[in-house]
Amino acid sequence: KRTIPKDRCIDNTCKLLMEGYLFIPNRCRRYKTDLFQTRLMGQKVICLSGEDAAEIFYNNHLFTRKGAIPKRIQKTLFGKKAIQTMDGPDHKHRKSMFLSMMTPNRMDRLVKITEKQWLKSAKQWERKDRIILFNEAGKILCRSACQWAGVPIRKSEVTQRAKDFSAMIDAFGAVGPRHWKGRCARNRCEKWMKQIIKDTRCEKIYVPEGTALHDIAFYRDAKGKLLRPKIAGIEIINVLRPITAIATYITFGAVAMHTNPECEKKIQYDEDNYTHMFAQEVRRYYPFGPFLGARVRNDFLYNHQLFRKGTLVFLDLYGTDHDARIWYQPNHFWPERFKYRKGSPYDFIPQGGGNYDTGHRCPGEWITTMLIKVSMSFLANHLKYKVPLQDLGYSLRRMPTLPKSKFIMQKIKLV
Ligand code: HEM
């Protein structure tokens, strides 16, 4: 009988905060395993990594999300009672609302809006000494997301709202001030959105059909009830915040293009859908979501190991996207690998795995790829710029992480 390797410790939360994205991969390597047991936040946690483990993790009969997301994450990143905390038929019903926003036409509209926003912003950069790409991309995406979703936003509001969305995301791996900044940002944003939902419902603001705000404000659950304004507000934030978050991938993408100059040429030629492969490799290679949590629904056996009902289980996203059994030379940035990839719903999981409608896999995955593509294509085809000396390195300890300088650009010219 095999037993699962165990971390000998009273609690490993400090080590998790110190090792960040590599906490699970380091132990899988050390114990030569795909699963091990540890203690985090005062409780037993089983950590899983790899494609087979992802398939188990996304089996709804075995796992539930109830009680899996710590309150501190709900108060910053997701919001209380948001879709991320739901299960079963209620989850499926609400998920169908998010998925109905992702028709080719509607996604295409977002791409066109974003392209226009890049152009508008870039015209202003020509007059500036330097810009920080991460901050600028966040504003572009925040503006585009609001316009696409039908959410009214004043020009003077954009900087603060984009910062707030960013602060909610920045809080997920934090204790102390970074966490509190995220909480304040969420409170401000929820207040804003709750009012917007009320105004939409009483037609104080006009919102066309076929927009995310209209969908969410008038969505009726399986029992035919409208969402409470606070919950509806949280769900519209669940659209605007992650679109703004794509600034992280755009910043990493710019770093990838700068450090691998052949990529820029290839994006310009875009042969064999190269820009698409580049965007996929950015999502695979660079760290964003480190792992996900769920609780065992009922006792089951996996790999000779008993998973007891109620146990907290983490699935390693970053490690699975760098698993050498799936990815040839995983620590090498190589977009062409996607030309040959057969793929499964469980092997490439930067935004979760499994299926979209019955599971929790991110409904914004297509949008994410499309917006990385349009942004990289804009940088490669329409901008000339200098990249001054700066620290483009990023820490794998900090969650979430970014290139230290956030990508400074100078002498920008539109071409
Ligand atoms: C869920 C990552 C962009 C909306 C998720 C999950 C991850 C993720 C890891 C959790 C999957 C799970 O629990 O199994 C990301 C990343 C993004 C991104 C890294 C890009 C920066 C988007 C976009 C949208 C979106 C653009 C919407 C327009 C959502 C929603 C969920 C979700 C609503 C909850 C789904 C559910 O619980 O069923 N995302 N996402 N995300 N994402 Fe994204």
Annotate 119-146 with three-state secondary structure. HHHHHHHCCCCEEEHHHHHHHHHHHHHH
Chain centre to alpha carbon of residue 271: 28
Domains, the chain, with CATH or none = 13-414 (1.10.630.10)
Instruction: Specify the pLDDT at position 269.
Output: 97
- Minimal-distance CA residue to ligand 1 atom 19: 351
Chain centre to alpha carbon of residue 340: 25
Average pLDDT, the chain: 96
Closest atom, ligand 1, to C-alpha of 101: 28
**Local structure of residue 226 (DSSP, 8 states):** B
CA of residue 26 to ligand 1 center, whole Å: 26
Please say whether the beta carbons of 4 and 35 come within 8 A. Answer: yes
CA distance 38 to 191: 38
- Minimal-distance CA residue to ligand 1 atom 33: 238
Instruction: Specify the pLDDT at position 121.
Output: 97
CA atoms lying within 13 Å on the CB side of residue 354? 20
- Best probe residue, ligand 1, of 107, 291, 362 (max atoms within 8 Å of C-beta): 362
- Minimal-distance CA residue to ligand 1 atom 23: 364
Q: Which amino acid does the sequence have at 237?
A: I
Q: What is the ipTM of this complex?
A: 0.99
| 245 in contact with ligand 1, CB cutoff 6 A | yes
DSSP strand pairing (312-316 vs 43-49) = parallel
CA of residue 366 to ligand 1 center, whole Å: 11
User: Cβ contacts of residue 33 below 8 Å, gap of 6+?
Assistant: 4, 5, 27
- Minimal-distance CA residue to ligand 1 atom 42: 362
Instruction: Specify the pLDDT at position 2.
Output: 63
CA of residue 350 to ligand 1 center, whole Å: 9
Per-residue pLDDT of the chain (415 residues), as tens digits, is 568 999 888 999 999 999 999 999 999 999 999 999 999 999 999 999 999 999 999 999 999 999 998 888 888 888 899 999 999 999 999 999 999 999 999 999 999 999 999 999 999 999 999 999 999 999 999 999 999 999 999 999 999 999 999 999 999 888 899 999 999 999 999 999 999 999 999 999 999 999 999 999 999 999 999 999 999 999 999 999 999 999 999 999 999 999 999 999 999 999 999 999 999 999 999 999 999 999 999 999 998 899 999 999 999 999 999 999 999 999 999 999 999 888 999 999 999 999 999 999 999 999 999 999 999 999 999 999 999 999 999 999 999 999 999 999 999 999 9
Helix (H) or strand (E) holding 241: helix 229-259
Please say whether the beta carbons of 165 and 188 come within 8 A. Answer: no
DSSP strand pairing (312-316 vs 383-386) = unpaired
- Token pair for 393: 């390195």
Closest atom, ligand 1, to C-alpha of 235: 33
- Minimal-distance CA residue to ligand 1 atom 39: 362
Q: What would the pLDDT profile of 164-173 be if each residue is shown by its tens digit?
A: 999 999 998 8
Q: What would the pLDDT profile of 80-135 be if each residue is shown by its tens digit?
A: 999 999 999 999 999 999 999 999 999 999 999 999 999 999 999 999 999 999 99
Please say whether the beta carbons of 168 and 182 come within 8 A. Answer: yes
Closest atom, ligand 1, to C-alpha of 98: 33
Instruction: Specify the pLDDT at position 328.
Output: 96
Instruction: Specify the pLDDT at position 9.
Output: 84
Please say whether the beta carbons of 69 and 46 come within 8 A. Answer: no
Cα separations (Å) of 170 from 138, 143, 398?
A: 13, 19, 10
CA distance 54 to 58: 6
Closest atom, ligand 1, to C-alpha of 354: 14
Q: What are phi and psi of 51, to 5 degrees?
A: -65, -45
Instruction: Specify the pLDDT at position 210.
Output: 97
* Structural Rg of the chain based on CA atoms: 21
